[in-house]
Amino acid sequence: MRVAFLVANEGVEQIELTDPLAAVTQAGGEASVLSIKSSDVQAFNHLDKADTFAVDRLVAEAQIEDYDGLVLPGGVANPDALRMNNHAVDFVRAFFDVGKPVAAICHAPWTLVEADVVRGRRLTSWPSLRTDIRNAGGEWVNEQVVVCDGGPNILVTSRKPADLKAFDEAFLREFSKIAA
């Protein structure tokens, strides 16, 4: 299983990157950190700077066929920066276009809204995104994890870091079906 993790170079919530990354590698998969710039990724613990992470590949140079699934970690600034980058938005939309699974946690569905892929789908997020998701045609629910099979691909969403165990289990289960 080859999984892309798409993050901006600043503002990703560290645990929402590191926990799913570890889950992929512990399951025997390959994880790649993609970003919009080649500089290191500055992660945060809420509002405080945390660790930095190397970028494996620029999203502008990434190929969809190199990955079985896509994970979008949250953090408030992370998806806000991604949704302003055409390469990032196009990359996310392309996963939906070809029917590959996507997982997003916390504020990450903002990028899904920008990619115009939530219409007709049931999903969850950090509660402050509720109106944005509904305005984009999605059905927002307040659940720990939601697996939506709305179309040719699977979308796994979760609300917050406290949901990471359920999020990891759900996206690994769904991604492994595709990678098999």
Distance in angstroms (rounded) separating the CA atoms of residues 93 and 168: 22
Distance in angstroms (rounded) separating the CA atoms of residues 41 and 146: 28
Cα angle: 57, vertex 62, 63; to 5 degrees: 150
pLDDT at 180 over 90: no
Q: Give percent of the chain with pLDDT exceeding 70.
A: 98
The number of CA neighbours under 13 Å toward the Cβ of 30 is 9
Mean pLDDT of 20-49: 97
pLDDT band at 178 (very low <50, low <70, confident <90, very high): confident
Whether domain 2-179 has CATH 3.40.50.1370? no
Catalytic residue numbers read: 106-107
Instruction: Compute the mean pLDDT over every residue in the chain, rounded to the nearest whole number.
Output: 96
The number of CA neighbours under 13 Å toward the Cβ of 27 is 23
The domain limits of the chain are 2-179
